[in-house]
Amino acid sequence: MLLEKKTAIVTGGSRGIGRSICLALAKEGANIVTCYANGAEAANETVKMCEELGVKAKAVKADVANSEDVTNMVNMVKEEFGSIDILVNNAGITKDNLMLKMTEEDFDQVIDTNLKGAFLFTKNVSKIMLKQRSGKIINISSVVGVRGNAGQVNYCASKAGLIGMTKSVAKELASRGITCNAVAPGFIETDMTAKLPEAVVDEMLKTIPMKSMGQGEDVANLLIFLASENARYITGQVICVDGGMAM
């Protein structure tokens, strides 16, 4: 196992890509702590699935955009698990609309959850990793953070911001044995994409050279590599998992 006895925090691990990441980390021996804003049942289901793989797992109700919630959660994980070796900033929401129709509230909510949340977790976890002189931080960005997308000004801004944050954090922490990288998924099959009209899916597939949607496991497989010592000399990078969509 590549990550045996490691402890990973995965924000937003209740379903979709987040759940795939939790399970992949657990299969490699990592203990899992995830957080959720709503949907305790789904989060606890993820915990049960991880525990069935033989690791410790826990779900915590926390608002990633709330500084007090984040600080309390990180301190709890350190106290109960002894270390924090991997941080995956995955939690994200969408509030899609054309820019001229987008409300200020919808813009702020997406930025707060997707970008500020990652900042708060990274800041708190980094303090622990600096003392350990080791750690892996992985931000889940998006292909639209690289190429943009009409109707998603707020979401694209948050995901592009994660890329800038990744590179800055990588430069600040590299000398202490901590790496920070970003993964940018493309059109991945999730509960969210399952709700899209067939015509929309068909049009999206035309933009993908591989002509198919990706799976959560495709993202998780890359993340396992970045979280392991096999990627010890890789930091500050943005890797797309998109079937060639961003080329």
Spell out where 53-132 has E strands.
57-61, 86-89
| Residue type (1 letter), 109 | Q
Q: Tell which residue, 148, 141, 153, has the closest CA to residue 107.
A: 153
| Residue type (1 letter), 245 | M
Integer CA distances (angstroms), 46 to 36, 78, 103, 141, in order: 11, 21, 33, 22
The number of C-alpha atoms within 13 Å of 242 and in the hemisphere containing its C-beta is 23
Q: Sort 9 into a burial class: Cβ within 10 Å, 0-12 / 13-18 / 19+.
A: buried
The yes-or-no answer on residue 233 being catalytic is no
| Residue type (1 letter), 116 | K
Selected catalytic residue, list 124, 155, 163, 243: 155
Two tokens, residue 126: 């980094």
Residue numbers annotated as active site = 155
